[in-house]
Amino acid sequence: MADVTAHTATTRVWPARVVAGRPERAWIRSPYLLLFLLLLTAYGYTFPRWADWNQNSRFNLTRAIVEQRTLRIDAYVANTGDYALIDGHAYTDKAPGMSLMAVPMHALAQVVRPFGPGWLAERLGANEAFAQTLNPDGAGTSAERVYIAASLYLAVLACVALPAALMGVMLARMVERASGCRTAGVLAAAIVGLATPAFTYSQAFYGHIPAAACLVGALAALVLSEARPSDRRLLLVGFLLGLAVLIEYPSAVAGFPIALYALYLAGRRAVLFGVAGALGPLAVLALYDMLAFGTPLPVGYEHSALWQEQHQQGFLSLTRPTVDALWGLTGGSFRGLFFIAPVLLLALPGCILGLAQRETRGVTLVVAAAFAGMLLFAASSVMWWGGFAVGPRYILPAVPLLTLPLGFVLARINRAALPWRAVGFVAVGVLGVVSGTLTWGLTFARQNYPPDTITDPVRDYVVPALRDGDVARNVGMAAHLTGPTSLLPLLLLLAGVGALLLRTLIEAQRKRATA
């Protein structure tokens, strides 16, 4: 018997799960804990890239707030080209949410600074594996650079990797609630979390994945309700949608369908409590903009120092979607999501399955609208490829939502008779391996993400990097492992946790089959 828990179709919500007539297992014995550990281990293995303009711009604001009590990044702007120039002063041109979230982490790093950077810099300087990743003409491993890198790594763990791992758990639970299949939820979340560009940006100080975690959290607050969403849940939905905008402005496009879904489920209460919840993050955004730019509106991109030509086209580079951009974002070898992660193609039949069932139709429409909205938004940009990037990073806030339709497909496979079930899972496995190989290759190749001057990054960037043994700095190098071999500890850890996770799922499925 397939791993399916009984559920009764309703028009708006799903009832509580029932597992073999008994209460659910305690959290500590749940596969969700193993899924969380699996994802967090993967996301925390890579160190931040030192020459990344995007994350440097965001972290410069964090440093300015903690170290100088200012919003101006004049003292740090030399490490980035992503900045706004107003009245002779430099500011980050990014949404401020990530920078503000990292303030406690950098403040903590300031407290322990006297005890670590010098010693750590000396150790890294003597580490041949780490030294091989450095630019011979660069600044080396000075105590100051090591301190900033360590503080940034701490910020990534707390503000990106941790929310990303929690997001995977929320997605798995939503799939289980919608399809009645726990196995499908856990596997779908693991696939999207480890074998798509969501993996890449869950280990970097970018806003895309934390914004996605806010969107997923808002949707989960609605989907996982036992009845109509309570006032508290609606406040939470509004807060998370507002926080997503504070972190990454374009996430408002994906958040709009979620807001409409809340309105459908709760009526006018959603407007009252949703707006009340969103007021906090949006007030912080308005206050930041007033202090930095003298206006409550976010105008950082309007004053970007190096991208004036692009931002003067249309509305801050937004014109209209083009066929070339749509293909490039989806199927092209340059930045195509389904080229890099073909396993996500299964989300299309998953949407069909979701729309066919009354109880999953609403959430499927939300996911489809959010993804389509982000796709059209990114395709309207004159810089749709996103500069140095792995895949179409502009649409990433909506990509994790594809876990739901992917989970619907896995649930259907898991319900099939044994021969067809085996064939289905083998096909998903092949697509997952291809997706993981391409994603990991693009993620770990060299010390920067593939530049936009290379139109076929797999052939012309990943392959040469592997041939040269040039792999992004990671935890394995602390053990003096070099090149691709430095990834072996991560692979072994993931294999061990993954095997335990699969064993837990299989045992649970056998118990249900014999109950």
Question: pLDDT tens across 444-496, in order?
Answer: 999 999 999 999 999 999 999 999 999 999 999 988 899 999 999 999 999 99
* Domain parsing of the chain, residue ranges: 27-49+153-514
φ, ψ for residue 358, nearest 5 deg: -60, -40
**pLDDT at residue 131, rounded to an integer:** 67
Cα–Cα distance, 238 to 254 (Å, whole number):
14
- DSSP code of 471? B
**pLDDT at residue 138, rounded to an integer:** 62
φ, ψ for residue 298, nearest 5 deg: -75, 110
Question: Minimal CA–CA distance to 367: which of 287, 232, 256?
Answer: 256
Chunked mean pLDDT (size 10), the chain, 515 residues? 42 40 52 96 92 95 97 96 92 96 94 67 64 65 78 95 98 96 97 98 97 98 90 97 97 98 95 97 97 88 73 70 96 97 98 96 98 97 93 97 98 93 96 98 96 96 95 91 95 95 87 75
Contacts of 385 (CB under 8 A, 6+ apart): 328, 334, 335, 392, 452
**pLDDT at residue 315, rounded to an integer:** 66
Other CB atoms within 10 Å distance of the CB of residue 88:
7
* pLDDT, tens only, 401-456: 999 999 999 999 999 998 999 999 999 999 999 999 999 999 999 999 999 999 99
Angle at the Cα of 251 from the Cα atoms of 273 and 78, rounded to 5 degrees: 125
Single-letter code of the amino acid located at 236? L
pTM of the prediction? 0.92
**pLDDT at residue 333, rounded to an integer:** 96
